[in-house]
Amino acid sequence: MFFRARRAIGRAWFDFNCRGLQRTPPIHMNDHHLTIVSMLCHGEVVMYLLAVKSFCKQLGRIPEVVILDDGTLTKSDYSNLRAHIPEVRIVPISEVAKDRCPQGSCWERILLISDLVKDTYVVQLDSDTLTTNSIEEVAQCIDANRSFSLLGDRSYPEIESMESACRRSKQALGPMVQAVCERSFDQLPESSSLKYVRGNAGFTGFAKGSIDREKIVWFSDLMRRIAKDKWDEWGSEQVTSNLLIANSAQAHVLEFPKYLSYWAHPDVPYESASFIHFIGPHRYSNGFYVKSAKRIIATLK
């Protein structure tokens, strides 16, 4: 309860400080070969608009924008989104077929991406992100049709064999589904032929044609063999995203600390990063998110 209250206060303070975003011009699609996909809830519309506008500014092009409505967006939210992104496509979560995968916890998002990636490169962009400087590595991946992944915090900075990732994870004894799966990969006969990257699903690129529903369902069934009912918990979609990226041809891992998540570590140079994912536990720590957002809004005007 305390965490939810603190998050609500932080979000209200963020929205107040970012009210100048409403005076920034709308963005109009000019790249039909690229799509941004984001899952969005009612309370994060301002954050999302800043995320997508800052990303497009640094990328230097404006892709098609697809929003997955988690069921909480209001008519006012729809109007606000369309005022800033006139060509936006908003998909109700109920319209995404589930197959045999878990429901909720971002699974509908990865399934929607699998439908879109048949015809376009797809960038998955979380609403709590800011693109603060040049992202030429991302542009190069898009142009070369190579998938990419943001690293998890303190993660091994390469795509590796699943067996190697398992050995590396044996000391991670936490109960979260991701930790359970990673330290149990060696229970799978398929582990000898698969790769893994401990990425962050908040910012990923999926090369055109790189994934499909069949592959997602196969990975989901595979992981359920070791995670059992725990596979239905939050975090299983990120494991699947990591597997999809790692086993995509010529996939690229974005270099830390140019691309990172904000954990408020005192030894990390967040000020010089080009892309920052402001994860929930530390989103508003030290006022850095608000300060960075206000600086970006000034450039968008």
Give residues with Cβ within 8 angstroms of 58, minimum separation 6: 131, 132, 133, 134, 135, 274
**What band does 2 get if pLDDT is binned at 50, 70 and 90?**
low
Indicate the number of domains in the chain.
1
pLDDT of residue 74: 98
Give me the pLDDT at residue 301, please: 83
pLDDT of residue 94: 96
Q: Note the pLDDT tens digit of each residue in 63-75.
A: 999 999 999 999 9
223: which 2 tokens?
Answer: 């992981």
How remote is the C-alpha of 30 from its chain's centroid? 23
Top-confidence residue, 118 or 8: 118
- The CATH number that applies at residue 150 is 3.90.550.10
Residues 172-209 pLDDT 10s: 889 999 999 999 999 999 999 999 999 999 999 999 99
Q: Residues 129, 202: contact at Cβ < 8 Å?
A: yes
Q: Which residue has the higher pLDDT, 21 or 98?
A: 21
Q: What domain range is 188 assigned to?
A: 2-300
Note the pLDDT of residue 107: 97
Q: At residue 280, does pLDDT exceed 90?
A: no
Residue 39 makes CB contacts below 8 A (sequence gap 6+) with: 67, 68, 70, 93, 106, 108, 109
- What average pLDDT does this structure show over 273-278? 98
pLDDT at res. 8: 84
- Predicted local confidence at residue 1, as pLDDT: 59
**pLDDT band at residue 89 using 50, 70 and 90 as cut-offs:** very high
35 to 13, 31, 122, 145: CA distances (angstroms): 31, 8, 5, 13
> Averaged over 215-220, what is the pLDDT?
97
Whole-number mean pLDDT of the chain?
A: 96
Q: Which of 25-29, 67-71, 95-99, 295-299 has the lowest mean pLDDT?
A: 95-99
**12-63 tens-digit pLDDT:** 999 999 999 999 999 999 999 999 999 999 999 999 999 999 999 999 999 9
